[in-house]
Amino acid sequence: MTRDPKAPEDVPKLGPRNTRQRTAVINALWSIPNFASAKEIHQALEEDDAKVGLTTVYRTLQTLSDMDAVDVLHMPNGETLYRYCHSDEHHHHLVCTVCGRTEEIDGGPVEDWAKRIASQYGYTITGHDAEIFGTCSDCNDPKKESASH
C-alpha cells in the first residue's frame, strides 16, 4: 500500500488511545484515492498484511465519520463508501460511476438554494448532502473505450 505523500502527520485520536488497527485503517484510507467500501478497505489491509478484522474496520470508519474526519457517500444501492477527507472546508463530490474517480467540489449555488428552501419552509439547516454522479472525461472518451476492447 503506497501512502499518500500529502497525508497529514497526525492520526486523529480515537478514544483513549490509538491502536495499531485504527492507525492501519486510517493509513489505508490515505492510500485509496477514491471512495471505498468497508470491505474494500479491509481487502487493502489484508493485501498489506495488516491484521485488522472487518468489524474493527466498520467501527473505526463509524468513529471517523462521527468526527467528520472522513467523507461518507451513501450510494443509491444502499452501500456506504468512505474516503479520507482532503479538505477541512465544507464541500461536495463529483463521482464517476464507472471508475470511481472523485473530485472535491465547492457547493456554490447549492448552498444558497438549501438555505432558501429551508427558510421557505421554516427550517434551520443542520446539515445537507449533495453529491453529483456522472462519468469522467476518461470514461467518456470513445478512443480509450475502443482501445481497451
Q: Is 74 annotated as a binding residue?
A: no
Same domain, 77 and 115: no
**Domain extent at residue 138:** 87-149
The crossing angle, in degrees rounded to 10, of helices 20-31 and 38-47 is 100
- Say whether 42 counts as a known binding-site residue: no
What pLDDT, on the 0 to 100 scale, is given for residue 76?
A: 78
Which residues does residue 84 pair with via DSSP β-bridges, in sequence order? 70
The overall longest dimension of the chain from CA atoms, in Å, is 54
Place of cell 495488516: 50
Tell me: is residue 128 an annotated ligand-binding position.
yes
Same domain, 121 and 101: yes
Could you tell me the CATH number of the domain that includes residue 122? 3.30.1490.190
Q: Measured between alpha carbons, how far is 73 from 51 in angstroms, rounded to an integer? A: 26
Number of domains, the chain: 2
| 18/76 same-domain check | yes
Q: Rounded to whole angstroms, how far apart are CA atoms 38 and 79? A: 10
Phi, psi of 61 (to 5 degrees): -65, -40
Same domain, 79 and 91: no
- 90 known member of a binding site: yes
pLDDT at 145: 53
Q: Is 111 annotated to bind ligand?
A: yes
User: What CATH number is attached to the domain comprising 53?
Assistant: 1.10.10.10
Do residues 22 and 36 both lie within one domain? yes
Q: Is 136 annotated as a binding residue?
A: yes
Decide which of 38, 63, 86 is a domain's last residue: 86
Total Cβ atoms within 10 A of residue 37:
16
For 27, the grid coordinates are 493509513
- The verdict on whether residue 149 carries a ligand-binding annotation is no
Per-residue pLDDT of the chain (149 residues; tens, 9 = 90+): 444 444 445 556 555 567 888 889 989 998 888 899 999 999 999 999 998 999 999 999 998 888 888 889 888 788 899 988 776 777 788 888 888 888 888 877 888 888 899 999 999 988 877 788 889 999 988 776 545 44
**The cell 500529502 sits on which residue?**
6
Residue 71 shares a structural domain with residue 93: no
